[in-house]
Amino acid sequence: MGTVAAGERVGGNVRLVVDVPEWKHAAAAGDSIAVNGCCLTAALARGSASHSFEFDVIPETLERTALGGLRRGSSVNLEHAVTAATLMGGHVVQGHIDAVGIVQRIETEDGWRVRIGLVRDAMMCVVPKGSVALEGVSLTVATVDVEHDWFEVALIPVTLAKTTLGGLQVGDRCNVETDIMARTIVHWLKVYGR
């Protein structure tokens, strides 16, 4: 995780500065880094033991994601791009946000379950027991209610400890990326399946 140090308007863009204490990944300007699941290009990377990254976030990204709601001091999930030599756990996450979901419910009695409301077009790509990325975190879909446009995920202790998901509250906006295979099939059927 990192912390937003600044977010300043530069023309039509926002220059987002994220501090990352003791991240082992040595990124350089031009590298892709997912910030809360949204793939951004590092405009500037500095530091060795304590990293700081700067990103230029364009208006389209601000409009289509929840990044515009970040404030100084906000915690963010960070992930560097996978390489051919990287062990890949979870599912393929591209960093291309499909929609902004709204946290509708959080249940903590028998483990953590989070309900996310989502627009119909994106809900069509959420599959029971399939994969979804919430704020960039690869998760398995626990429950789907297509009639009411929501899905739930169950969060385990390590996810709560190592990501920002444990801090979600009802009403929060969050970035949702559906599974690329489901998204491709739904798109193909909508466009060519007639």
Per the CB < 8 A criterion, the answer to whether 108 and 154 are in contact is no
- Reduced to 3 states (helix: H, G, I; strand: E, B; else coil), residue 160 is helix
pLDDT digits 0-9 by tens, 108-149 = 988 899 999 999 999 999 999 999 999 999 999 999 999 999
Distant-in-sequence, close-in-space partners of 42: CB < 8 Å, separation ≥ 6: 27, 28, 29, 30, 31, 32, 33, 53, 54, 55
Q: Top-level CATH class of 99-192?
A: mainly beta
Give me the chain's average pLDDT, please: 91
pLDDT at 65: 96
Q: Top-level CATH class of 2-80?
A: mainly beta
50 confidence band (pLDDT: 50, 70, 90): low
**pTM score > 0.85 for this model?**
yes
Residue 49 has pLDDT above 70, yes or no: no
Q: How many CB atoms lie within 10 A of CB 154?
A: 16
Residue 87 has pLDDT above 80, yes or no: no
Which of 187 and 93 is assigned the larger pLDDT?
Answer: 187
Distant-in-sequence, close-in-space partners of 86: CB < 8 Å, separation ≥ 6: none
Task: Using alpha carbons only, give the angle 111, 116, 121 rounded to the nearest 5 degrees.
Answer: 145
Q: Which of 49-53, 59-63, 147-151 has the lowest mean pLDDT?
A: 49-53
Torsion of CA 107, 109, 111, 115, to 10 degrees: -10
Please tell me if the domain spanning 2-80 has the same topology as the one spanning 99-192. Answer: yes
- Where do the structural domains in the chain lie, given as residue ranges? 2-80, 99-192
Q: Which two tokens stand for residue 89?
A: 């756990």
